[in-house]
Structure 1
Amino acid sequence: MAGDLLHLTVLGSATPYADVDNPCSGYLVSHGGTRVWVDAGSGTLAQLQRHARLDELDAIWISHLHADHTADLLTAYYGALYADVRLAAPIPLYGPPGIADRLAHFLTNGTVRSPLESAFDVRELHDGHRARVGRLTLTSRAVAHGIPAFALRVAAGDRSLVYSGDTAPCANLTGLAEDCDVLLCEADSARQPADGDQVHHTPEDAGDTAAAARAGRLIVTHVGRSLTPEQAVARAATRFDGPVVHAAPGAVFSIG
């Protein structure tokens, strides 16, 4: 039945800044009446409103604190408190350690701290963090991005979606993605860095991670501007035998 499916809606997948027709990283994961906004890059709040109001969200989950994954939390704060939105309670906000102070630093312009907690019920992630949101189970693992960063597994019954966030290939991501139905994986870098200081997946890495995890399907996202989506898909497909597609803005994927 359609209500039993997991749905992934791509709000945006651009990096490191929004394109004319593609916001930065942001996704809506839904199952039945449960809605989770995953990453809040520039421009994604506007696209979110095609599907859900802020006061219809059950949670927000943030992978790391770079602006192309968080910037729209600032405008979401104003929307939640000072516009036409009426929250029954602050929105649960799952994010890396320090997320509350980082947001408050940007929002506060004076001696009195902005009432961040009136809009967001902040819950800091840690490696192995698990939360129940409606009928969804959210499991987070720490990944390798040079700053505190997390990948996410969303499970509804026997259906599962794993989102890499931004990370170099790492055991935590591969383990989290084991036997998942869909792996939503970044393919930012065009090539491996010469100095070995890698903090992103290449398309080939995305294919390798999907293959190692035995994912059912690979969706490449966060494709760097030196690549076209078609190039990223083709290169990932050289390492993974399953279906590979691009997270095109506005695309909706049903999982189940």
Structure 2
Amino acid sequence: MKLTVIGQWGGYPKVNEASTGYLLEHGTYKLLIDCGSAVLSKMQNFVQPEDLNAVIISHYHPDHVADIGVLQHALIIGKYMDKNIQTLSIYGHQEDESGFQSLNFQDVTKAVPYNPSETLQIGPFSITFLKTKHPVPCYAMRIEAENQVIVYTADTSYIESLNEFAKGADVLLCECNFYGDMDGSGAGHMNSYDAGNLAHIAGAKRLVLTHLPQYGDLEQLKSEAAEKFSGEVMLAYYGMGIQL
């Protein structure tokens, strides 16, 4: 598997960057995980919209779905340009029906529900889900292919069930929207100490901090997480590629 960070900011993107979006590839299969603001623009440096095989959405906050509409328009324009546009499946939960239905657009995108209590097979990826603690229904994902594991926490405050869910992850892609001396639980987010503790308890091999705040010294997040986790700690950045 190869993971490429398209956007790593929480809430809204910093100038010339993007909020949440990750491209996961295995062989020729290309899965986009979340599609926040400016993701479509930045994604085109790595893959064209018509070359995506599928998209999966953790929840329907704008920093995770803002570019679904422009992705849909890119595909419909591509169709008018005689590109080989196939109907793109966009997977999401149905606990927000209006959000789910927004994934449908003419014949270029199709909303496909996932059942969070079951394993979902998308191409080469087996995906299991864990409901997180966030103001709206949101699901973390454990993505496996050929004995490699990426765990994406999506948006959440720390919950003990994440410990087992993330166990042994090769990459723990963990939200970190607050610094260590801040309590993000009321907003449904983790701080740097939460992220480090989770990586330590789960026995993750690598911790990638993402969904980052727009203020402060981001290196502080990394050093604080490293106080709790002795493995490799990285800050997500645009274009960051991790090969498993």
Identify whether the pair has TM-score above 0.5, normalized to the shorter chain: yes
How much does 1:197 deviate?
2.6
Alpha-carbon distance, 1:123 to partner = 2.0
Instruction: State the alpha-carbon separation in 2 of the partners of residues 7 and 99 from structure 1.
Output: 30
User: 2:160 maps to which residue?
Assistant: 171
Q: 1:48: how far off?
A: 1.3
Indicate yes or no: 2:44 matched with 1:49: yes
Which region of structure 1 is more displaced relative to structure 2, 156-165 or 137-146?
137-146
Task: State the shift of 1:98 in Å.
Answer: 5.3
One-letter amino acid matched to 1:32: G
2:88 — aligned with what? 91
Report the counterpart of residue 26 of structure 1 in structure 2: 21
Distance in structure 1 (CA, Å) of the matches to 2:161 and 2:135: 15
Unaligned runs of 5+ in 1: 1-5, 108-114
Q: TM-score, normalised by structure 1?
A: 0.86
Normalised by the length of structure 2, the TM-score is: 0.90
Q: 1:237 aligns with which of 226, 234, 239?
A: 226
Of 69, 73, 79, the match for 1:78? 73
Q: CA RMSD in A?
A: 2.0
* Aligned counterparts of 1:203 and 1:36: Cα–Cα separation in 2: 28
Match of 2:183? Answer: 192
Q: How does 1:207-246 map to 2 (within 5 A)?
A: 207-246=196-235
- Number of equivalenced pairs: 239
Q: Deviations over 1:133-159 (max 9, x none)?
A: 222212222111121101111111111
Alpha-carbon separation, structure 1, partners of 2:20 and 2:120: 22
Q: Which consecutive segments of 4 or more residues in structure 1 shift more than 4 A? A: none
CA distance in structure 1 between the aligned counterparts of 2:130 and 2:212, rounded to whole angstroms: 22
1:253 aligns with 2:242: yes
Point out where structure 2 has 5 or more consecutive residues left out of the alignment. none
Q: Percent identity?
A: 28
Give a deviation string over 1:51-104, Cα, whole Å, max 9, x none. 21222112101111110110000101111123345322x211111325663376
Kept after mapping to 2: 8 A contact 1:40/1:70 = yes
Q: Quick one: distance in 2 between partners of 1:123 and 1:188?
A: 29
Distance 1:185 1:203, change over 3 A: same
1:184–1:220 contact (8 Å) kept in structure 2: yes
- The Cα of 1:223 is off from its aligned counterpart by 1.3
